[in-house]
Amino acid sequence: MRIRYDPKLKEHSRDLRNRSTLAEVLLWNQLKQRKMLGYQFMRQKPIGDYIVDFYCSRLKLVIEIDGESHREKGEQDHKRQSELEDMTIQFLRFQDDQVKRNMPSVLQVIQNWIEQHDK
C-alpha cells in the first residue's frame, strides 16, 4: 500500500532537510545508505498532511527527534502521531539530547525495534 502525501509539502520538506538540527544530522549519518540492518530510511518525509523526521516505508516506521521546537507542540505532536498511527504507521521518539549524547543507545533501540517488528 502506497502512502499518499500533500504535494505542497515537498518544497517545505526540502527546506527542512537543508536546515536540519545537529541531532537530525547525527542520526541521519547512522541511518542513510541502508546502514541500519539494510533498511532504507528517508529524512524529512511528507506523509499525509505532515512531514516526519525519518521514515522507513518497508517497516512503516517513523523516527522523530524531539528538541526545543517540540516542547510547546505536545498536543499538536500527539494529534499528528495519532493520525499517522491510524494509517498503521508506528513511531519511535527520541529526545534531541539523547541522540547527541548517547547515540549507541538510540541505535540499539532502533535495531531492537526492527528485530522485534520485521517478520
Q: Which residues of 26-37 are buried (b: 16+ CB within 10 A; e: fewer)?
A: bbbebbeeeebe
User: Could you tell me which CATH number the domain at 9-117 has?
Assistant: 3.40.960.10
Reported pTM:
0.90
Cell numbers that stand for 73 in this block: 507542540
Q: Report the Cα–Cα distance between both ends of the chain, in Å, rounded.
A: 17
Indicate the DSSP class of residue 4. P
Give domain limits for the chain.
Answer: 9-117
| CB 4 within 8 Å of CB 48 | yes
CB contact set of 7 (below 8 Å; sequence gap of 6+) = none
Q: What is the C-alpha to C-alpha distance for residues 2 and 68, in angstroms, rounded to an integer?
A: 32
Contact 41, 32 (CB under 8 A): yes
Whether residue 70 is predicted with pLDDT greater than 60 in this model: the reply is no
Rounded CA separation 70/43 (Å): 17
Query: How do residues 11-69 score in pLDDT, each as one tens digit?
Result: 889 999 999 999 999 999 999 999 999 999 999 999 999 999 999 999 999 999 998 76
Is the pLDDT at 2 greater than 90? The verdict is no
pLDDT band at residue 97 under the 50/70/90 scheme: very high
